[in-house]
Structures are given as structure tokens and as C-alpha cells.
A and B are shown apart, each in its own frame.
Chain A
Amino acid sequence: MYTWDYFVQELVNGLTLGSVYALIALGYSMVYGILKLLNFAHGEVYMIGAFIGYGVLTVSGGAVDPMFPIWLLISFMFIAAMIGSGLLGVVIERFAYRPLRNAPRIAPLISALGVSFFLQNTALLLFSADFRSYDTFSLDNGTLFTHGIHFGPLNISLIRIIVIVTTAALMVGLALFVSRTRLGKAMRATAYDREAAAMMGIDVDRVIVITFFIGSALAGAAGVMVGLVFQRVYHFMGFVAGLKGFTAAVVGGIGSIPGAMLGGIFIGLAEAFSQGYISTRFYDLIVFGILIVVLIVRPTGLLGKADIKKV
């Protein structure tokens, strides 16, 4: 168990998980930064993204004999899921959060809980409780799994490499978007001070819609990735992943984009190493313990800024 390849294998497991959590955490952080709202329904958006990917796969003839070459198929799945999830996020914002923008903080939180529960069970109604499988194993005769880096006892499958690399690309893209474009600047301004941004002529509503769209699209991408690597898609998957993405966002500093990325990777690695070295059953508790410790020692998270309230 204490061999170097065991360590690297767990490292890769951790990075794969961490990529997924980072993408989900980004959505939470971005929305919280702008609206100071914890979007509980975010996990469900991720779940719908995974189902959309599954839908595209089925429509294209299924994993065993798809109509398109594998690279095209996967790209379609990603694009469809990202657009679909993004739109869903926008709809949720418009109807469940916007009317409550001036209500006391507890109201949109409860509304978010309601949306989360509603979406989970709508998915249960529409798709039934059966697990759907992306059956990635059958795609192209399993090349995604059997190819990859094989170095002595080490076996890193291609699909995990794809996930890690794609996530890195998306995160770099987001960082560039936020720092270099006008819209990104508008997002940062709105997150800093909504009223002042409105006074400077920024269309706050539009910025919020775009934030939700991007955050949800990233979650949708995460959903497809999980479907490809872990192959299991079911109505309840959003809850657990949402919780972990949550933790990641909080640990990294909620409201901070680099914080969400860091937090995601951190939580992913923590989970993998806990499972591998400590306990295969209590690793969830260990992750929770990390959250508590971080909140006690550094309440604003690793990269968060202290929120100074003016009275």
C-alpha cells in the first residue's frame, strides 16, 4: 500500500474528483459572489447536465455503435450538456430567485431548497430510479479506459486525463474571461458592490443572468465528465456532488473564483487520500472535519476575503 504507484494512482483519482468538484464549486462561488445566495439547486443542474449527455449518447445510437466518431460524439455531449444546463440555471434564477431579490435572506435559501428537491424528484419521475450508464466501456471498445499512461505498475486511463485537461482548459478560459473582457469586468464589479455597479450603468440583471449561465454550464460539463468516468447517472447524483462542491467552494473561500478551483482540487485530493490511506467508510466524515477546521481557523476560507459589514 505504501508504494509510489499507489500514491500516484490515488493522486490521479484525487485530481479527477477534484476537477469535477472544482467545476461545481465555481458555479456556487460565482453566484454567491454576486447574489450572496447559496444556490442549493446547483447540484441538480449538474445532474441534468449528465442526463442531457446521456440523451445525446442514446440519440446517437448508444455507446456500442454510435453514429459519430468518438471525439465528435463526446464534443456533442459536452456542448449539449453545457448549453442545456446553462439555460436551466437561467430559468431557475428568473423564476425562483429574482422575485425574491429584496426579500430577507432566508427566503431565497428556502426557495433554493425547494427547487433542488423539486428537480430531483422530477428527474425521478421522468427518468425513473434506474441507474443509467454511459457505458463508456463499450465506446470504441473501451479505448477510453484501456489506453492512457501505462508506466510499470501505474495505470492512468485516457478518460481521466481528458477530464483533468478539459477542466484545466475551462478554468483557464474562465479566468481569462473574468480578467480580460468587459463582461468579466462587469461581473467583478457587480460582485463587489451591486448598487454601485448599477449606478455605473452596468445592466445588473444581465450580468446576473450571464453568471448563472456560465456557472451552470460548467456544472453541466462536470456532469458529462462524471458520466464518462464513473458511468453512472441517476436522479440523486446531484445531491452528493453538490454537497462536496459546496464544501470545496467554502473551503476555498466562497465568492472567490481561484478559491473555488483550489478548494475543489483540495477536497478531491482529500477524499481520494482518505479513502486510500485511512478508511473506505468514514472518508465523508473526514472531509466534513476538514471543513469544520477550515471554518474555525480561517472562517473566510483559504482564499476568501473578510467581508467587512458597514453598519
Chain B
Amino acid sequence: MTDQPRIGVDSWVAEVEERREAGRVRQAFERIPRSARFGAFIAAAAVVPLLSDNEYVIRVGVDTLIFGLLALGLNVVVGFAGLLDLGYVAFYGFGAYSFALLSSDKFGLHWPAEASLPVIVLAAAVTGLLLGLPSRRLLGDYLAIVTLFFGQAFVTFVTNGDRVTLLGHSGPFDLTSGPNGISGLDPLNFFGAEVQSVQGFFYVSLITLAVVMIVLHLAAESRTGRAWKALREDPLAAEVMSIPVNRLKLLAFAFGAGVAGVTGAISAAVDGAVFPDSYDIPILITVYAMVILGGAGSLSGVVLGAITINVSLEVLRDANQARWLFYSVILITLVAKLRPWPKLVAVLASLVAFGYAFHALVAAVWPAGTRGQAAGGDVIGRAVQDWVIRPEHHATLIGNYAFVALIAAVLALTLMRGVWRTVFLVPTLYLAAFVWENRLDFEPSVTRLIILGALLIVLMNARPQGLLGTARVEIG
């Protein structure tokens, strides 16, 4: 199991060992050259808009690409350089608002995209540099605080920016239209060609993603990339080895900010409007979850993380699809984690049996306990009708208590060992299904946020390197 840091092994050796330990499928996969894998991915992504003519689905794809870009930018700061930047989405917002100011009716400026985008990237990068300046001397925790505050300061500023007093200007000046945001933005206009359709947005974002990935890959393989890695692993040792630590930090900030800035501009053009609270903490946590899940430090990892999480969040919007997701995830986790296979079969069988038995019992004793409504009513919903309990009245209240009980049960589960753990797993899973069916499935917008938070906690405890990151190593 490679989730504990291994003492006395450096990361290159760890990587090689992991590769050797990996199965044949993984080895065959690794043998394909990187560029071919990358090309295949881009080609596959390019085909997606052609699969469906539902605008909303393609729109989800666009959002995924945008999140992928954000994850890539954050990856530079957190994954490459190891700096905890909690104000990252402020650069995203900065890019979006800059586009809004440059290409809308607000000030009458209508810059074409080929002029505004490079300017925005540069401006964002410079802002990142400026943020990095007071943070140079700060240790990890202080950096987190300062960047967090910067993020909040940005949101406060744009929310209240409709009445800014500028020197030499009589009366308050409306810079950012305050909480109403700026709407009616021009579409992206490249050399006269306007991008109006969702498919167009998709391809613009995809091209940007590809370009950014290539640039970052080259940066990671260069001297700067290696210096960043050294900075991440041990800042003191890096400084002793005469690596210009401060300059590198600034560079990382600038890179991350630049990527976030261009992403913001594209996102603003796609939406056609910018609003202050789109650049606040929930987006930050989402991007962080993507980076952590995918594996900080790995380019393909964070993009994979972005796809996984954004698609899951979209699926969670609709009750029926969410149910598919919920049960699949449970099943997959069980299959992956329970070894050997007789144990797996035993747990699954007893879970099903327990459910039916419990349901029959409750139906006999308290009929109103099983007549409740399911959220949505498709195949799986009906299939588990006789397995899970759905009270008819007070489902919300019981669900709430059950949720708290579930948290307690899961925590208790982490404390148990051996046979007891396996035995206790069954009722816990049943309780989880109960909570899902009666409470979480009804409130998708909150459920997705709860899952994000839980995901961060679980990842840090169980697999801090995420899906594709390399295991952290500690020397001695």
C-alpha cells in the first residue's frame, strides 16, 4: 500500500518502484509515449460535442474544461511549488472582471479577444506577482492566511465596487456594478470570427486547455520545474543549494495567476456575465478537491480530477442519476477495498439480506415507515423500494437524525479493527442508503457540497497523493 510516506526513499526511486509493482495493464499503458496519450485524450475530448445535440450537456463539457484549466493553474502553485494559495479564485475573478470591463457596454470598450486575452493573462500574472511579494517571507501557514484574505478582499471589492471614490473624480464611480454583476458581455471575437454557439465555446476551451497543458509540461521538465520540486520538498535545503527560492515562489504565483486569468476571461465570455459571488470559497474548495483528488503535481492527474468531480457534481443535480452514482460508488469502493473476494461476497450478500429483512420487519410493525416517496422514480429507485426504508411522514426529521448517526457510525468504523469492522460495515452501509434515499437525494445542491468537504477529509487521511500523484516521501 503506497499511502504511507516511505522513509529513506527519494521520489524518483519511489516512482520507479511503483511502476515496477504495477500490473501489466498499467505497464502497457505507460509504454505508450506521453505525446500519443495526450493526443488521444484531446482527440477523444474533441469528439464529445458531436455525441449529443443537447446544449446543456455540451455546456457541462465546457464547464469541465474550465475547471480543468483552473485545476492546472492551481497545480502549478500547490503541486509544483508546494505553496498553499487559498486566494486562487481571486485571479479567476480578476480575469473574468477584466474581460467584462474590456468587452462590454459598461465602459463602451469592445476589445476583440485576440487583444484582450493576452492583456488579461499579463495583468493577472502581474497581480499574482504583486500578491507574491509580501508573501515571500511568509511560511506556509501565514501564506495561507494572507492569500485567503486576498481572496476575500477581492470579493468584497467587486461586491462594493459600484461606488468607489476615485481621486479627481467628483462623486462615487461605478467600477464593478456591485452585487448585480456585469451582464451583456461580448462573445469571444477572434479576428472577426465571433464564437456564439456552445460547440464553439467547447473548442475554444479545449484548445486553451491543450496549449496550457503543453506549456506547463515543458515548464515542469525544465530547470525551473525541477527547482520548484526542490522547493516543494524542502524549502530550507533548496535555499541552501542556492536555488532562488523567493524568485521561484513569485514565478509560481505568476504562472498560476496567469492561467486562472485567461480561464476567467473565457468563462466570462461563455456565461455572458460576471457576478461577485461566483469567485468565492465554494469554487475554491471545488478546485482544491479536483487537484487533491487527481494528485497534486501531476498534470494529467488534475485534469482527470476535474473531469471526475465536475461530472459527478452534474450527475448529482438530478435525483435519479445521483442514485446511480451513489450505488455505483459504494459498489466500486467495496470491490476495490475488500479482499479477499469471499469477504466481498459475504458483505454484499449480508447487506442485501439485512436490508430486505429489516424492511420486512419495519413494514410489519409500522407500515407508514415504508410508504414514502422516492426522489425521482426510475429503475433503481423502484428496485430498492423493498430494500430501503422510506418513512411516509417526518422523513426529513428522521433523515436528519439518521445523518448525524451515520457520521458517528462512520467515525466509529474507523476505530474498529478486524472482524468487528466487517460486521459493523453492513448496518453502516444500510444506514447510508437510508440517509441517501430519504434526505440527501432530495437536496442535491447541498449534498454535492457535503460530499466535496468529506472528500477532502477522506483523501487526506487515506490517499493524500490522490489518483495519479506520486507518494510523498520523507527522509528519515
Contact = CB atoms under 8 A, between A and B. Distances in A.
A58 interface: no
B457 A118 contact: yes
A285 B453 contact: no
Given A117-B285, A125-B450, A243 B152 contact: yes
A95 to B, nearest CB: 5
Given A115-B453, A285-B153, A110 B236 contact: no
A38 B138 CA distance: 14
Instruction: Specify which of B140, B156, B446 lies most central, judged by the most chain A CB atoms within 10 Å of its CB.
Output: B446
A93 interface: no
Contacts of B148: 243
A138 interface: no
Contact of A125 (B152, B285, B403, B459): B403
Interface string A116-134: 1111111011100000000
B134 A38 contact: no
Interface stretch (A152-160, A207-215, A288-296): A288-296
A91 B453 contact: no
A100 B404 CA distance: 24
A113 B285 contact: yes
Interface stretch (A14-22, A101-109, A256-264): A101-109
Contacts of B157: 282, 285
A244 to B, nearest CB: 10
A38 B457 contact: no
Size bracket, chain A contacts: 35 or more
B457 A311 contact: no
Contacts of A95: 411, 414
A284 B152 contact: yes
Contacts of A173: none
Given A106-B84, A288-B149, A114 B464 contact: no
B393 interface: no
Given A91-B411, A125-B400, A246-B145, A114 B153 contact: no
A111 interface: yes
Contact of A105 (B141, B153, B288): B141
B449 A126 contact: no
B476 to A, nearest CB: 12
B14 interface: no
Contact of B450 (A100, A121, A282, A292): A121
Given A114-B453, A281-B160, A247 B149 contact: yes
Interface string B274-285: 000000011001
A309 B236 CA distance: 10
B347 interface: no
A299 interface: yes
Interface string A228-266: 000000000001000100110010000000000000000
B137 interface: yes
A106 B140 contact: yes
B460 interface: yes
A118 B156 contact: no
Contacts of A243: 148-149, 152
B456 A281 contact: no
A118 B152 contact: no
Contacts of B140: 105-106, 109
Contacts of B146: 291-292, 295
B82 interface: yes
A116 B449 CA distance: 11
A117 B149 contact: no
Interface in A59-98: 91, 95-96
Contacts of B440: 125
A111 B461 contact: yes
B382 interface: no
Contact of A282 (B156, B282, B446): B156
B453 A284 contact: no
A291 B149 contact: yes
A36 B84 CA distance: 15
A91 B163 CA distance: 45
Given A38-B144, A38-B145, A124 B453 contact: no
B87 to A, nearest CB: 11
What is the predominant secondary structure among interface residues of chain A facing chain B?
helix
B439 interface: yes
A288 B457 contact: no
A99 interface: yes
B416 to A, nearest CB: 13
Interface residues of B, number: 54
A121 B82 contact: no
Contact of B134 (A100, A295, A311): A295
Contacts of A103: 5, 460, 464, 472
B134 A239 contact: no
Interface string B182-200: 0000000000000000000
Interface in B141-193: 141-142, 144-146, 148-150, 152-153, 156-157, 160, 163
B304 interface: no
B292 interface: yes
A118 B454 contact: yes
A124 B445 CA distance: 10
B318 interface: no
Nearest to B289: A114
A299 B138 contact: yes
Contact of A110 (B281, B288, B443): B288
A127 B141 CA distance: 32
Nearest to A122: B450
Interface string B433-476: 00000011001001101101111110111001000000010100
Contacts of B144: 38, 109
A115 B460 CA distance: 11
Interface string B79-103: 0001010100000000000000000
Nearest to A301: B142
A117 B152 contact: no
A246 B446 CA distance: 26
Contact of A121 (B86, B134, B453, B456): B453
Contacts of B414: 95
B347 to A, nearest CB: 23
Contacts of B400: 125-126
Nearest to A116: B453
Contacts of A117: 281-282, 285, 449, 452-453, 456
26 contacts: A95-B411, A99-B461, A103-B464, A106-B84, A111-B461, A113-B456, A114-B452, A114-B454, A114-B455, A114-B456, A115-B457, A117-B449, A117-B452, A117-B456, A118-B454, A118-B457, A121-B449, A247-B149, A282-B160, A285-B156, A288-B152, A291-B146, A292-B149, A295-B142, A299-B138, A309-B236
Given A107-B460, A108-B460, A311-B236, 8 more contacts: A95-B411, A103-B464, A104-B5, A111-B460, A250-B142, A288-B152, A299-B138, A299-B142
